[in-house]
Amino acid sequence: MNQLIFDYLNSANRNKIIISRSKDEDVEYLDVGKELSKGINGIKNIKKVSFKAKDILFDLLNKSIRNYDNYGKVCAISNFGILLEDELRIDFINLINTYSKDYCLIMHWEGVVAGGNLYFLNKKKGIKFNIEKLSYIKI
């Protein structure tokens, strides 16, 4: 682990979020899109999808938490574009805020991080999330 990450994780930040364009080979990532879509696949009632999806998501996230010597307790996620689907009604910023308070949240982010914002896909046409109030490190 490089010194920048080590210093960040040992600081007194409210959140511990690592945003990375590449996956750490030593960390097991939850493929949120794949696993959540499997869980909600058979739900016929569209009104129940968002409630069921949230339950499944929290269960998946909790089961994915691992303890690593370098990072401590980690929730590592990738492929989470499904969380941005309007039908699921998931508050993405609240979700990452919640999980990064108790655990190191490692996000494999293929979009853009700039000026205190996350851009899903790209800066021009992507979905924008303000993360200025969250402490994070971009590697």
Give per-residue pLDDT as tens, 17-65: 999 989 988 899 999 999 999 988 877 777 788 888 999 999 999 999 9
Q: How many structural domains compose the chain? A: 1
pLDDT at 66: 96
Nearest to 111 by CA among 33, 21, 9: 21
Report the Cα–Cα distance between both ends of the chain, in Å, rounded.
11
Residue 105 structural domain:
3-138
Mean pLDDT of 60-74: 93
Rounded CA separation 34/47 (Å):
21
pLDDT at 27: 93
Strand ranges (DSSP E) for 13-108?
Answer: 17-20, 30-31, 66-68, 72-78, 104-108
Tell me the pTM: 0.89
Q: Rg (Cα) of the chain, in Å, rounded?
A: 15
Average pLDDT, the chain: 88
